[in-house]
Amino acid sequence: MSARREGVVEHAVYRPRQESRRSLWRRPGWPGLILLGLILALMAGGAVYGLRSETFAVTRISTGSYRFTAGQDLDRILGSFLGRNLWTLSATEVADSLATLAWIRDPRIERQWPGDLVVEFRECRPVLSLEEEAPGGGTRVLVDDGCVLPFPGHLPMPGLPVLVGVSCVRDSVSGREKLDPAWAPQVMELLTALAQTGLETVAPVDFLVAREEGFAILLREGWGSLQVGREDFAARLDRYMAARENLEPGLRMDLRFRERIVCSRN
């Protein structure tokens, strides 16, 4: 009986050689260190030069056209930035300063090297004049973003409709005057309806009168008045525009009833 040899067979396993951490992160030689130092020194010197050199001082500030903003107020604000370094001057700082001027909205600031500052902004557009005068006299106007502003005294007053029967309050957040919140949304909706229907292209408006039953629109040139209530202004004005050619001037026209116009003599 032959004996059976038993043993252990070892299999060779390939293990790749692992580089040591020291060999993976080899230190650069002296030439590389010198080159790196020169680059860093040049960058630091350029930064210092840019921040301190008069080459990058603001020497000119240009704006687009404007009408309602007082020129001396704009010069005072923008003049404070002349001589400032264009690298360090923040566009936000300029915009925040311009926002203190009542008629300016949405300022945009662009820097043009080496020393120009280009300022663009939108001015508010007056849409109504108010019956109540501004403190100290003068006319107050409602502008397109809902604020109430004193109209500039050096400009001729445009022929805006006059809003009657709505008071003003000071907004606790912005500090600006606005219409009474009980009436403000309806006033803005009515203005939108006037623009959409084109009423003033055929019958200019003298007054918008707020009453307990809603708004009355008093037309110029003896065309009468329109009672439009508190809602659905565009549809009601469309009804008047469609029937206008068949209506006599000088009537009091009540548009609050669906599909009809109730007319009476003023």
pLDDT at residue 48, rounded to an integer? 46
**Length of the chain counted residue by residue:** 266
User: Residue 180 is encoded by which pair of tokens?
Assistant: 């009474």
Residue 129 main-chain phi, psi, to 5 deg: -100, 155
Q: State the CATH number of the domain containing residue 160.
A: 3.40.50.11690
At residue 4, the pLDDT reads 44
Same domain, 155 and 73: no
Amino acid at 109: I
Q: pLDDT averaged over consecutive 10-residue blocks of the chain (266 residues)?
A: 42 49 54 64 50 72 92 94 89 93 94 90 96 83 95 91 94 89 96 96 94 95 93 96 92 92 87
pLDDT at 115: 85
Instruction: Give me the phi and psi of 89, to 5 degrees please.
Output: -70, 120
User: Which of 102, 123, 144 is the last residue in one of the domains?
Assistant: 123
> What pLDDT does 9 receive?
37
Phi/psi of residue 251, each to 5°?
-85, 155
Residue 260 within any structural domain of the chain: yes
Per-residue model confidence (pLDDT) at position 25:
47
For 177, residues 6+ apart whose C-beta sits below 8 A from its C-beta are: 140, 147, 148, 149, 168, 169, 170, 171
Do 119 and 135 belong together in one domain? no
Q: What is the pLDDT of residue 175?
A: 86
Residue 214: left if φ>0, alpha if ψ -120 to 50, beta else—which one? left
Cα–Cα distance, 235 to 219 (Å, whole number): 18
Q: What is the pLDDT of residue 26?
A: 55
Q: Helix 71-79 to helix 91-98 angle, to the nearest 10 degrees?
A: 150
Q: Which of 123, 139, 154 is at the close of a domain?
A: 123
Distance CA 149, CA 179 (A): 11
Quick one: 153 and 60 in the same domain? no
Joined tokens for residue 163: 């809003």
| 218 touches 207 (CB < 8 A) | yes
Per-residue pLDDT, 235? 96
Domain that holds residue 168: 126-264
- Judge whether 120 and 64 are in contact, CB under 8 Å: yes
Q: What is the CATH number of the domain that holds 59?
A: 3.10.20.310
pTM above 0.85, yes or no: no
Give yes or no: residues 107 and 143 share one domain.
Answer: no
Domain count, the chain: 2
In a shared domain, residues 107 and 59: yes
